[in-house]
Structure 1
């Protein structure tokens, strides 16, 4: 099992943030299927102000490259990603085309 933590910002507009959260109350079935089919076993998103934090757990076989390939082949996923970009903005350190950035783990209580 693998765990990844990722970050992304939303456009700092209360109305847009509310819309974004509304979409995530019940995601499209094709989006859920693409997540599960890629080997993701659990996924949670948290928000503080306009900063998003995602916890993604996946099988050992999961890779972000494989997930991107699956997503590229599904038009409904591409439609969702385009729609979500209306609400999202890359972190200042993101390279062109990057959205969610994987965070570095810097502490683990179990290892102390």
Structure 2
């Protein structure tokens, strides 16, 4: 016998099942930090900063499509610190290539920014961005 009570139960059950299917489980994220130096000279530094005040929309779209969740650039003088939030265990080389393949302007942007960058002391010849590893953390 089909009752109104049963009908409400089945509708509720269906809503719960559909809600579970619609929820996405997002992969855990991790923050990674890198440093680079900007070539000597105030003009070079100012040009680099100006470019980042007007990032091409294709570049940010490429970052998003490649899976970057957040990118933050900070600086002291000519030292630039980049913090990125990406899925845990992400292959950054593959993500970088995916971002560049999104639009030809993404690769053009990277070539342009590369012309302003130099490795920090301790990097190998030709190496520019280098990952820094946390050695102390305060918090929960």
- Give me the TM-score of the superposition, normalised by structure 2: 0.70
Secondary structure at the counterpart of residue 32 of structure 2: strand
RMSD of aligned alpha carbons: 1.9
Question: Do the aligned residues in 2 keep the contact of 1:5 with 1:103 (CA within 8 Å)?
Answer: yes
Structure whose residues are more often strand by fraction: 1
Question: Do the aligned residues in 1 keep the contact of 2:66 with 2:96 (CA within 8 Å)?
Answer: no
Larger RCO (alpha carbons 8 Å, 6+ apart) = 1
Number of aligned residue pairs: 111
Structure whose residues are more often helix by fraction: 2
- Is the aligned partner of 1:85 residue 2:114? yes
Please report how far the alpha carbon of residue 72 of structure 1 lies from its aligned counterpart in structure 2 after TM superposition: 4.6
Please report how far the alpha carbon of residue 25 of structure 1 lies from its aligned counterpart in structure 2 after TM superposition: 0.6
Question: Do the aligned residues in 2 keep the contact of 1:39 with 1:61 (CA within 8 Å)?
Answer: no
CA distance in 1, matches of 2:98, 2:89: 14
Please report how far the alpha carbon of residue 60 of structure 1 lies from its aligned counterpart in structure 2 after TM superposition: 3.1
- Give the 4+ runs in structure 1 shifted more than 6 A: none
Describe how 1:7-26 pairs up with structure 2 within 5 A.
7-26=35-54
CA distance in 1, matches of 2:93, 2:115: 24
Which protein has the larger Cα radius of gyration, Structure 1 or Structure 2? 2
CA distance in 2, matches of 1:22, 1:71: 22
What is aligned with 1:70? 98
Q: What stretches of structure 1 of length at least 5 have no aligned partner? A: none
